[in-house]
Amino acid sequence: MSIAVAVLADDPITEEGAIVRLNSYDEISARSLDSCHTDSAFDVLLVLANEVTGSMLTRVARVRRESGGGGRGVPVVLVANEFPEHSMLRAISLGLVNLLYRKESSFNAIARAVVSAARGCTKPGGDGVQQRLIGQIRAIRETALIPHGLNVAGLGAREVNVLRLLADGLSTKEVAGRIGCSERTIKSVIHQLVARHNLKNRTHAVAFALRTGVL
């Protein structure tokens, strides 16, 4: 059975070219992410970009959140020239398992990375140090953060929920009503996370959550 690969690129020419080239490999069946219906499964998500931007990762997050089995838990292979630190952390939280530099990669290398990701192996492809870093961060996330209800930003589930509602434009009073607690409790939650992460205010806290990929 061939490996189903959903391709997401920051321009249509790159996306179409990658799909055609990847489909020349017997073990791979590639198609555009846009053509993958929410109820259709794919084995690997391949992201091709010059720079990993917040908007692209937000799209990946939305796919994983909305896909009824089509995107949840799917490993991500990322090919790009620039990897901002905050984007790296967010990508790992979204399932990044293999990272390759676009300028130094061939389609043979990408195909190997895709196959390795589908088989649960992340050794081939990318810089060895970076691959080890990804593995270490994923291990910390899975063994130390997730069991305690935390994420790469060190935020708890309730803190994330509060920040998400604040990011949607709700006031602390409205957030309290939505969650079902007092406004004083919401202000306390905000105060504690702002102090813990040396942030300036709630706006800075929302920005911090966005940068680290929590929202």
The pTM of this model reads 0.62
Note the pLDDT of residue 18: 95
Note the pLDDT of residue 4: 92
Note the pLDDT of residue 120: 79
Note the pLDDT of residue 15: 94
Note the pLDDT of residue 67: 60
Note the pLDDT of residue 33: 81
Note the pLDDT of residue 124: 45
User: Edge-to-edge strand order for the sheet containing 28-32?
Assistant: 28-32, 3-9, 44-48, 76-80, 96-101
Bridge-based pairing of strands 44-48 and 76-80 is: parallel
Q: Which residues of the chain have pLDDT under 70?
A: 35-40, 66-72, 85-86, 89, 121-154, 212-215
Note the pLDDT of residue 37: 54
Note the pLDDT of residue 137: 57
The encoded tokens of residue 145 equal: 């953060």
